[in-house]
Amino acid sequence: MAALELPAAAAWPPQPLMTERLIVRAAQASDRAGCIDLLTSRQARRFLGGPLPLAEAEKACAGPYGRSPGSFVVSAAESGDFVGMIGLDRRDAGRPGHLAPDGLELELSYVLSPAHWRMGYAAEAVAAVLQWAAQALPDPQVVACTQTANTASAALLRRLRFDDTGQRFLEFDAEQSLWVRSLLPGRSLTALTLSP
């Protein structure tokens, strides 16, 4: 993944994005335990190459995570509980799965802690991030890759009105699919923030 560079007019960290039930914001030190739990979770990492060893997760959660533009944390508005993480990055040209040979497409990733699955949280939080991206970034579209076996992720992308490009390729020893969604004003993101 290549780092996301923001145009001069866009600030990081951004103002927290408030949705009906969630706060989507840059990571802070108090997110560390939630981050480590998520990266070491067998369930959450099932389609993401498996759980990280604890030492690796601790390292990943101690570093610049969240201070790099595009790395969001989701927390519950009422309780403040850690809910998950959403990332925007650039997809390196050397990896398979692209819209154009030069690559570096804006790429979305997401992982929520299993205790918060199937409550519409991912749709609510990702919609807010896409709205932020549509305003802060020059990209006309965003891509997402998911294992074809990951039905929850594919359902989320469909719900968020991503289109399956039909591209299939092998990466991380599994078949992946490439999805794309416009960030242009014609496709309303506002409606997506409604809870189910």
Residues with Cβ within 8 Å of residue 118, at least 6 apart in sequence: none
Which residue's CB is nearer to ligand COA, number 45 or number 59?
Answer: 45
Interface with ligand COA includes 41 (CB under 6 A)?
no
Mapping DSSP to helix (H, G, I), strand (E, B) and coil, where does residue 1 land? Answer: coil
Cα–Cα distance, 177 to 166 (Å, whole number):
7
CB of 112 to ligand COA, least distance (A): 4
Interface map 50-79 toward ligand COA (x if CB under 6 A)? ------------------------------
Phi and psi at 139, nearest 5°, equal -65, 135
Which residue's CB is nearer to ligand COA, number 14 or number 97?
Answer: 97
Which residue's CB is nearer to ligand COA, number 10 or number 167?
Answer: 167
In terms of Cβ atoms closer than 10 Å to its own Cβ (0-12, 13-18, 19+), residue 164 is middle
CB of 141 to ligand COA, least distance (A): 17
Cα–Cα distance, 143 to 105 (Å, whole number):
7
Number of residues counted as binding ligand COA (CB under 6 A): 24
Which residue's CB is nearer to ligand COA, number 10 or number 114?
Answer: 114
Interface with ligand COA includes 19 (CB under 6 A)?
no
CB of 9 to ligand COA, least distance (A): 29
Interface with ligand COA includes 168 (CB under 6 A)?
no
Interface with ligand COA includes 152 (CB under 6 A)?
yes
Locate 170 and state its tokens: 């092998």
Which residue's CB is nearer to ligand COA, number 25 or number 116?
Answer: 116
Question: Footprint of ligand COA on residues 104-133 (CB under 6 A)?
Answer: 109-112, 117-123
Which residue's CB is nearer to ligand COA, number 28 or number 43?
Answer: 43
Q: How do strand 105-112 and strand 163-171 relate by DSSP bridges? A: unpaired
Query: 């992308």: which residue's tokens?
Result: 157
Residue 116 burial (CB count, 10 A)? 18
Residues with Cβ within 8 Å of residue 106, at least 6 apart in sequence: 4, 88, 89, 90, 133, 137, 139, 141, 142, 143, 183
Report the interface residues with ligand COA, using CB under 6 A: 44, 47-48, 109-112, 117-123, 144, 146, 150-153, 155-156, 159, 196
